[in-house]
Amino acid sequence: MEEVRKKKKWLERYMPFIARSPEMQVEWLAQALRRQVLASNEITPYIRLLLESEDSGIRSRIRASLQELDYWMIERLVEAADIYDTPKLFSILPDCTVEQVMTALGKEAPPYEQHPRLVRDRLFYAVYSRAPHLFAPAAAKLRVSGRAPLDFDETHRRFLELLEDEKLLSALYPKAKARGDIDLKDLEALQSLF
C-alpha cells in the first residue's frame, strides 16, 4: 500500500497531467488555455494523452467534461490537435461548428508521413461522420478563405468519390456491413479498380 502511495505522489509531482482523472485533465487544459501559458504546439501532446484511452466509459466522461468548456477553448483544442488526434477529438466533441470543421479540414499530414492520402481520408471521414451537414459549407468557406492546403481540392474531390463508392457498396451489399462500418481501405481498393 505504501508503495502505491509513493508511486502516486511521484506521478503527481513529476507528471501532473497523467496522474489526474480525465475530468481533471480537461480542467487542467482549460486552465492552461485561460492563462495562455502554452502555445498551440505545446498543448498537442496533452491532447494526445487525453485521447489515448479507447474505453467508452472514459470517452463519455471526457465528452461530458468538454461540454463545460467555452466555445473558444474547444476551438483552440481542435486547432492544437494534430492530424492523427483530430478524428478522435471530433468523435467526442459535444457540438461542432463550421469553424471547427474548417480548422480540421485544413490540417496537413507531416512531411515524414508515408501515406498522407490515407491520413487525410481518415480525417475527412471522421469529420464528415461527426457533422455531415457542416462538411460542405466548411469546405467551401475554407476554399474562399485561402487557408486551404495546396492539395485540398484534389483531396476533397477524391473524398467525395469515396463517399459515392461507399453508397454503391452499401447498395450492392446491404447485409455485408452496416453503413459507417465500411473501411476506407476497402473504398481505396474499389477506387483502384476504376
Per-residue pLDDT of the chain (194 residues; tens, 9 = 90+): 556 555 556 555 556 666 567 888 888 888 888 888 888 888 898 899 888 888 888 888 888 888 988 889 999 999 999 999 999 999 999 888 999 999 999 999 899 989 888 899 899 999 999 999 999 999 999 999 988 888 899 999 999 998 898 888 888 887 765 545 555 555 555 555 55
| Spatial distance between the Cα atoms of 34 and 191, rounded to a whole number of angstroms | 46
Of 57, 118, 140, give the one whose Cα is nearest residue 92.
Answer: 57
What's the pLDDT tens digit per position in 157-166? 999 998 898 8
Where do the domains of the chain lie? Answer: 1-95, 97-194
In terms of DSSP H, where are the helices of the chain? Answer: 2-14, 22-35, 40-50, 56-67, 71-80, 86-92, 98-105, 116-130, 132-145, 152-172, 184-193
CB of 28 closer than 8 Å to CB of 67: no
Grid cell for residue 189: 481498393
Model confidence, pTM: 0.78
Exposure of 113 by Cβ count < 10 A (0-12 exposed, 13-18 middle, 19+ buried)? middle
| Spatial distance between the Cα atoms of 84 and 54, rounded to a whole number of angstroms | 15
